Amino acid sequence: MLEYDDRIAVAVSGGKDSISLLHILTKMELEYPKASLVAVTVDEGIEGYRDEALRIAARNCRKLNIEHHIISFKELYSYSLDEIVRHLKEEGRNKLTPCAYCGVLRRKALNIVARDVNADKVATAHTLDDETQTILLNIFHGDLSRLARGKPITDQVHPKLMPRAKPFCQIPEKETALYAYIRKIQFQGIPCPYASEAMRNDMRLFLSRMEEKHAGTKFAVFKSMERIRPAIEKMFKRERLRKCIRCGEPTVGNICRACEMLLQLFDA
């Protein structure tokens, strides 16, 4: 996933997974003098939650002597996630959850900040749990093209689109937590206030129950997907990316999903 001379932007949210990833990559990077690390954090603007996570992320970066860059929804999109959610509630017409907006806007923000710091790749701390939840969610939504695209390392398909690597994709969440506890690493323990509204939460409970009863379920789902993916990839021809007519970021259509979402919300 990672090359000996990569400049890696580690996406650090402040939670146990991303902070553990930052500590582990910092340790590994010592062996590779040509590689470098930089931490990047997206501040979605979630009051009472993200503020503490930002402090924890910054403290860990200082301790590890890692350069840290923060990009916020407010500065990038003019609206924080809290403001978007308030607007959604006032309008009362939208069926999408806060996570649906957050995911799209954060992916774009992460790509922009990683490019700004001249990274070659973005490393995210998606664990085996996250990956298996995403696989099942895509199946439940019938979204096969996304199932094909959700690889542990993405290919660089556009000069403005950073390849993303998920070094923890086969590591259960319990183990990243265990690592953080054993190494006495400080991380944010409270969950995001919007997390319970997402379908992902139901999937998490389902998979955890299955894993408890039938150990190895999560690995089986992940490995099955790895074997099936090449066949699914063949079903979709690679879409050519172009520039969003509003923001210039890579997109398959005329306008990127983030711009489209914000337009529907605030300019409709």
Single out the residue of 21, 40, 104, 256 in contact with Zn ion (rule: CB under 5 A). Answer: 256
Q: Bridge-partner residues for 7, per DSSP?
A: 36
Return d(Cα 36, Cα 193) in angstroms, integer: 34
Return d(Cα 11, Cα 108) in angstroms, integer: 13
Q: Is 197 exposed, middle or buried (0-12, 13-18, 19+ CB in 10 A)?
A: middle
Residue 174, token pair as written in the block: 């319990």
Is 53 a residue that touches Zn ion (CB under 5 A)? Answer: no
Q: Which CB atom, from 101 or from 168, has the smaller least distance to Zn ion?
A: 101
Query: By CB under 5 A, what part of segment 170-199 binds Zn ion?
Result: none
Please give the residue ranges that form the binding site for ligand SF4 (CB under 6 A). 44, 98-99, 102-103, 192, 194-195, 198
Is 38 a residue that touches Zn ion (CB under 5 A)? Answer: no
Identify the H or E element spanning 112.
helix 98-116
Give me the least distance between CB of 247 and Zn ion, in Å please.
3
Is 259 a residue that touches Zn ion (CB under 5 A)? Answer: yes
Give me the least distance between CB of 93 and Zn ion, in Å please.
23
Q: Quick one: what does residue 194 bind among Zn ion, ligand SF4, none, with the CB cut-off 5 to 8 Å set by partner type?
A: ligand SF4
Q: Which stretch binds Zn ion (CB under 5 A): 155-163, 179-187, 205-213, 253-261?
A: 253-261
Q: Which CB atom, from 81 or from 244, has the smaller least distance to Zn ion?
A: 244
Single out the residue of 37, 53, 244, 262 in contact with Zn ion (rule: CB under 5 A). Answer: 244
Which residues 6+ apart lie within 8 Å of 232 measured at CB? 144, 147, 148
Residue ranges with strand state E in the chain = 7-11, 36-43, 68-72, 121-123, 164-165, 242-243, 250-251
Single out the residue of 107, 115, 246, 257 in contact with Zn ion (rule: CB under 5 A). Answer: 246
Give me the least distance between CB of 196 and ligand SF4, in Å please.
9
The count of other CB atoms within 10 Å of the CB of residue 154 is: 16
Return d(Cα 112, Cα 107) in angstroms, integer: 9
Q: Quick one: what does residue 110 bind among ligand SF4, Zn ion, none, with the CB cut-off 5 to 8 Å set by partner type?
A: none
Q: Which CB atom, from 98 or from 150, has the smaller least distance to ligand SF4?
A: 98
Residues of the shown chain interacting with Zn ion in the complex, contacts defined by CB under 5 A? 244, 246-247, 256, 259
